[in-house]
Structure 1
Amino acid sequence: MKTATAATAARATEENWAFPPAEGWTFDQVKRLELPFDWELVDGCIVVRGRTMLWHNHVRNQLAQALGDARGKPFDVVTGQCAMVDAHHVRVPDVIVYDSTGLNVFETECVPISAVALAIEVVSPGSRSQDRVLKPAQYAAAKVPSYWRVELQRDNQLAVHEYWLNADTRSYIPRPERPVHRRELTTDLPFPLKIDLADLLGF
Structure 2
Amino acid sequence: MIAASGFPPSGPLTAADLGTMPDDGHGHELLDGSLIVTPVPAVPHQRAVGNLYLRLREACSDDLEVMLTPLDIALSEITVLQPDLLVAPRDALEGEQMVGLPVLAIEVLSPGTRLIDLILKRAAFERAGVASYWAVDPDRPSITAWRLDGDEYVSDASAKGDESFRTDAPFPIELRPEELVR
- Give the TM-score taking structure 1 as reference length: 0.78
Q: Once the two structures are aligned, what percentage of the paired residues are identical?
A: 26
* 1:1-203 alignment, distance < 5 Å: 15-17=4-6, 19-36=7-24, 37-80=26-69, 81-101=71-91, 103-104=93-94, 107-109=95-97, 111-112=98-99, 114-153=100-139, 157-167=140-150, 170-175=151-156, 179-182=157-160, 183=162, 184-202=164-182
Looking at CA atoms only, which structure, 1 or 2, has the larger radius of gyration? 1
**Displacement after TM superposition at 1:50 (Å):** 2.5
Unaligned segments of structure 2, at least 5 residues = none
Runs of 4+ aligned structure 1 residues displaced above 6 Å come to none
- Counterpart residue identity of residue 141, structure 2: L
Q: Do the aligned partners of residues 152 and 98 (structure 1) sit closer, same or farther apart at CA in structure 2, a change above 3 Å counting? A: same
| Distance in 1, Cα, partners of 2:28 & 2:93 | 24
- Counterpart residue identity of residue 142, structure 1: A
**Displacement after TM superposition at 1:70 (Å):** 0.9
Q: Do the aligned partners of residues 30 and 3 (structure 1) sit closer, same or farther apart at CA in structure 2, a change above 3 Å counting? A: farther
Residues 59 and 201 in structure 1, CA contact (< 8 A), matched pair in contact too: yes
- Counterpart residue identity of residue 43, structure 2: L
- Counterpart residue identity of residue 82, structure 1: D
Q: Do the aligned partners of residues 193 and 3 (structure 1) sit closer, same or farther apart at CA in structure 2, a change above 3 Å counting? A: farther
Residues 132 and 148 in structure 2, CA contact (< 8 A), matched pair in contact too: yes
**Displacement after TM superposition at 1:162 (Å):** 1.1
CA RMSD of aligned residues (A): 2.1
- Counterpart residue identity of residue 150, structure 1: V
Unaligned segments of structure 1, at least 5 residues = 5-14
Bigger RCO of structures 1 and 2 (CA < 8 A, at least 6 apart): 2
Q: Report the number of matched residues.
A: 178
DSSP-derived class of the 2:103 partner: strand
**Displacement after TM superposition at 1:103 (Å):** 3.9
- Give the TM-score taking structure 2 as reference length: 0.86
Residues 3 and 20 in structure 1, CA contact (< 8 A), matched pair in contact too: no
